[in-house]
Structure 1
């Protein structure tokens, strides 16, 4: 894990660092001892977002009928499976933070405050996708606890996810803000794109390793991850009263940052520390997931790429000892074939593109402070 952190720091994109001349944040970027660095500022922004958005989320979830409410409260970490209170994590809140930061960047603090309900709607859609993804991928752990489907069954998890999507649209339908209608239209279009991306993802898993190209996996990743981050930024811009060009630029920023996010997430999925990620080490490799580092490695045309293709062509192993050996071999093959280095370099390139999109709409780094801090956070994280 230490090696991953070192390489990530070395190869991370040149996002302006908070506390420097080009990255200092106006208003919220300093504490009693001086300017916050990017990670500290992002953490503070995410904490503030949770404080603002969680009451809206909880009120929405509490309005669900009994069974759906219980599953959703468990998924968010607010209740145990038996219904007793829990103090678990409801997630990092990156997407709602992007909504608020984008609104503030283009319209000031008042615009950010007005976008809280929209931020909650985006977070509800994100969690709808998580509930469904866990069922389809058969993931057994999320946020350091069993996934909802393993506790309540497939049907319960799927229906709870459907309910969260409906709640998101209800929040926007009931929001009197003039941006709520175009925000709802954008969010529903994003859900369609998310579903298309997930369909492509599941289709890729059924195809042989040599039948999957890096370009189509990048397109799939933009649909599955970049689309919602772009949508979050665009909705924030709408709540700031931004014009079409600025909304499109913020969408582009979020999409490119989302691809960087996914690239780093895929790296963490292979080399991350389970104590930090809350997921078993090498789970993506055991499941034969064609993540971006894996597909890049498979396309390398080297002996290591051939070894990885051979491993991916075999049935899943069931014995724990055999699985551990297979994970080690596959992990080493991906790295030797260059998959890890490519993913980290590509993440840097995507963040450079994100910065170009952001500059189209927000020329002043002071105004873009929150977005810059979040961009740095998603490319320098370890879980």
Structure 2
């Protein structure tokens, strides 16, 4: 299983409906397909979604760092050398999505070589997860219409509501409209993407206390250390750290410092190896986790559900696994399907990723 070649292929697929939130707006999935080839004919596959407004990576930077820095250091190693590979990758600062994709592609190779699904190798707790759908910025009636469509079409009953605009206006009104339209049986939680101040966030939590929200996520910047600690201390809801807690050390800092009481795990930024470290740290500290979404396509979503379903803690809550529904197309030969509000893990060896060569030829950006 020696690594013989590493590919980083940029591709672009438009969204049918842009996703807007406090820290950015996405119109096109400018992602990178990462493939690791071995000398015995196996190919591990993953997806790297750059988020420059959050982590600083771009499509161009991912292609460059993999091709010029990481690939030369990985050639000749095997898929079993995961610790040695991570030691090499960590010599380069940052680049979380590039590193995560390489890690997941190596796990894909391991699963294929063993003839076992990666989700089973990771833990094998269950074969599916409940799905949470993200509702982006829009007028309240449009947000309600989207949520009702997703509920009625796919059976999804958990919604993550993007907030961070006007704390006393549009955001509270949208939350109230969603609760009124969807009823008490539907789970709602809010994500501010650091868009408010701590004092504004505290007031919103007071004004929405009667809505039965499930979580609050990144309502204010983590750099506002004292303000965020005061907010979290008085929050009636579990407060999720997401982009402020991307590595085990950051998770420890946020939790022990009182700046969060729950953690979002995203395989797109910590792969499978790093995500397990975060998960086990949270379990040791008695902290709940949710499976987040880095505006992943179907490949990334397949990786996310494989990890989330593998562990009891990460499968407890609905995972953010439906963002690909807003993409005009994808690269998988067999598209993912959400049924009765759940998404199943792919059967078979590895991750079950089968790329449609015609779609890849259509959407790749390097030819």
TM-score category of the 2 structures, normalised to the smaller one: under 0.3
Larger relative contact order (CA 8 Å, sep ≥ 6): 1
TM norm structure 1: 0.25
Higher helix share: 1
Question: How does the TM-score come out when normalised to structure 2?
Answer: 0.25
